[in-house]
Structure 1
Amino acid sequence: MRTHLFVTAAALVAAGALAPAIVSAQDAPPPPKKNLEVTGTAGFAQTSGNANATTTNFGNKVKYTARGWTLGEDLAFFYGEAENKVNANFWNGGLRAERRIMERIGLFVATRYDRNVLQGIAHRFEEGFGVDVKAIATPRDQLSFQVGGSLFQQRLTAGSTATAKRNFPAARLGLDYKHSFTELAYFQQTGEYLPNLSDSEAYLMNTESALVAPLSRRLGLKLSYVVRYNNAPPVRENVRLKTTDTFFSSGITVSF
C-alpha cells in the first residue's frame, strides 16, 4: 500500500510539473540541436521505526554528436535494503558508437555490462553490433529501430546454475521512442529483445519507461520504470528464480 501511495504521489507531482510544459509546447520553438548532452539522476529514500528500509538509485547519460558520429555512455544503479537484508542490487552500463551512412540509417557497435545479484547474475558482458534506422525524426518525436547481434559472457552467483551456456550469441531487436513536450520535458520508451541463438527456447527482454518534468532550466523530476525479463532464469538452491525484475525510481535529474 505504501508503495502504491508513493507511486501515485510521484505521478501527481510529475503531472503537475508537466502541465504548463504541455500547454506551452504548441507555441514553443523547436529545441536547438546540441553536440553534447549530459544528464545525471539521483534518488534516495529511507524509512525507520517499525520497518527499516533504504533505497538508492543513480544514473547518467552522455551523448556526443559530430561529423556523422554519435558516441554515447549510460549507467544505471539500483540498491535497496529492508531489515538489513539486500533486496535490490543492480548495475547496468554501456558504451556505444554509431556512424551515420545515410540520413536515417546508421551502423553501431556497443559494449555493455550488467550485474543483477538477486537474479543470479554476478556479472554479464555484452558486445553488440547492428543497424539503426530512424523511422521518425521530427523536433518533437523520434523513433528508431535497431537490428543486429550480440555476444554474451556471463558468470552466475555462487550456488546458481542455468541451462543457458556461460558464453552465447544472441540476435537483437530494439526500439527507442522519445516525445519532447518542450526542450526539457519528455517521455522516452526503450526496449530490446535478445533471443539466444545457442538455445532457441531462451531469450532476454529489457524495457525502460521514463518521464522527465522540468523544475528549472537545468533541474527536473524523473520517473523511471525498468523491466528485466529472463524466460530461463538460473536455479539457486534447487529453486528457480523469478523471470521478471522491475525497478521503479524517482529522483532529481540535472541536464547540460
Structure 2
Amino acid sequence: MIDTAAAPHHDVEGPEGAPALILGPSLGTSLDLWVPQLAALGRAHRVVRYDLPGHGGTPSAALPHPEPGETSVADLADLVLGLADRYGIGAFHYAGVSLGGAVGTYLAIHHPERVSSLALVCTSAHFGGAEPWRARAALVREQGVASLVATAPGRWFADPETATTPRGAALLADHAAADPAGYAACCDALAAFDVRDALGSIAAPTQVIAGAGDVATPVSHGRELADAVPGARLDVVEGGHLASAERPAEVTALLTAHLERAGNG
C-alpha cells in the first residue's frame, strides 16, 4: 500500500485531463532542473515535477528508511507512485535525469502497468559500483554537502563556462542547499542500484539520451541501456551530465519527438 501522505514536494502544470508526464531530477538538483523543457512538454501533457528527499522542498524526513545505508531506489519509486496516486494518475509517461532516470527504470521494471513511456537522460542501469557512493555518503554525513560543491561543475558540465551562467549558478545553488541526510541517502540508493539483468523486461517505449561529454554516466552507459531495453532508441547530444541544462533545445526536441511516437495515451 503506497502512503500518499508521503508524496514529495512537487509542481503540477499543463492542461487538466491531459496525459500525465512525471519528471525526475538528478542527485543534487531540484525540480527546477526541468525548467527549460517545461513549456514545450506542458503543451500536451499534465507535467508533474518532484524533488528528491533532502532536495528542493522535499524534507529528508520523507524517507521511509532514513538510516545510513538503508535507502533504495525502490523507496524513491514508492514516493513517486504515492505522488501519482494523490492525483489519481494511473499510467504516466516518465522522464528522468541520472538518479531520476534510475527511478523511472525501476518503475518500468517493477510497475510496468504504470509507465506508458520512458525517457532516460544521462543515466545508467548501474552507477559504477557501491563503494564510491558509500564513501560519498559518509563524507556528506560528516562534512556536509559543501564538501562537494567545488567539484560539482566538473561532474555536471562539459563546458566549464556553464557554471558561470545564471542557469549554471542556479543549479549549483540547489546543490549547495541540499540537506546532507537526504543527499547521503540518495547516494546510498545509487550504491545499491544495478538492474542490468532486468532491462530486457521493460515493455514501455524507451528513449535514451546521453551526453557526449558526460563523465558521470558516459555514452557507453546509455548504449548499454539502449542495447538491453527492447526497441529502445539512443541519441547522443553535446553536453555533460546535465545535458538537459547545457543543451536544452536538443534534449527538449528529443523528448517531444519521443512522446509523440509513444502516443498521448
TM above 0.5 = no
Higher strand fraction (1 or 2): 1
Larger Rg: 1
Higher RCO, 1 vs 2 (CA within 8 Å, ≥6 residues apart): 2
- Relative to its length, the structure with more helix (as a share) is 2
